[in-house]
């Protein structure tokens, strides 16, 4: 495999929509068993599935360049769909009595979007790095924190490298994304009393 192919595989396997779809059920299962996994599936269907469908339709119609939306100017519609989907998920989870950890996780997604969406309108902050870093913070709350944090930091660094290697971002853009992901997620979980 060439270095560029490795970078492409990393960027595809750890894309925001992949992590947003897989992380909530996994976290729900670890923290609350099968009922938590079911809550997580509901969250991932809305938070990840709806935006992924919007992006897929955009790619199919030719309005979007790829599911990574490399052209920053084309991100507005899919991002607004993501914000709407996360808001709907949050309202439903709260109304139906979902576990606090999953409500906090979806709230963290919304907080991260509240920071990254306005930024990306002017500067191409990395959503790959933000979502990956936020995922690590959530996983470190349900798995042993130190090994999860160390392994997660290595994965975030790999994602950042891949995005820069493919010339989709600069180092400043991926570092900013990772910092937003960590800060937004950590602060949100702390606000919910999840330590």
Express each pLDDT in 110-136 by its tens digit. 999 999 999 988 999 999 999 999 999
pLDDT at 114: 95
Separation between Cα atoms, residue 157 and residue 148, nearest integer Å: 14
Q: Does residue 195 carry a pLDDT above 90?
A: no
More confident residue, 184 or 65: 184
Express each pLDDT in 143-186 by its tens digit. 999 999 999 999 999 999 999 999 999 999 999 999 999 999 99
pLDDT at 186: 97
E strand or H helix that includes residue 32: helix 16-44
pLDDT at 63: 86
Residue 84 near residue 51 (C-beta atoms within 8 A): no
* pLDDT range class, residue 1, cuts 50, 70, 90: low
pLDDT at 13: 96
Query: Mean of the per-residue pLDDT values for the chain?
Result: 93
Helices vs. strands in the chain: H and E counts, helices first: 8, 0
pLDDT at 71: 77
């Amino acid at each position: 495999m060439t270095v560029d192919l490795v970078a492409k595989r990393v960027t595809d396997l750890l894309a925001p929509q992949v992590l947003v779809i897989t992380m909530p059920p996994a976290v729900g299962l670890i923290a609350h068993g099968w009922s938590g996994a079911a809550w997580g599936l509901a969250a991932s269907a809305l938070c990840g599935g709806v935006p992924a469908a919007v992006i897929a339709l955009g790619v199919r119609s030719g309005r979007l360049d790829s599911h990574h939306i490399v052209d920053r100017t084309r991100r507005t519609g899919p991002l607004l769909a993501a914000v709407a989907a996360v808001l709907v998920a949050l309202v439903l989870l709260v109304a139906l009595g979902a576990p606090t950890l999953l409500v906090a996780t979806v709230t963290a997604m919304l907080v991260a979007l509240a920071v990254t969406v306005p930024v990306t309108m002017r500067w191409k902050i990395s959503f790959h790095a933000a979502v990956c870093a936020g995922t690590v913070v959530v996983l470190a709350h349900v798995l042993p924190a130190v090994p999860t944090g160390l392994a997660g930091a290595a994965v975030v660094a790999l994602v950042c490298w891949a995005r820069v290697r493919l010339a989709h971002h600069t180092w400043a853009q991926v570092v900013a994304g990772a910092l937003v992901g960590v800060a937004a997620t950590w602060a949100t979980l702390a606000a919910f009393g999840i330590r």
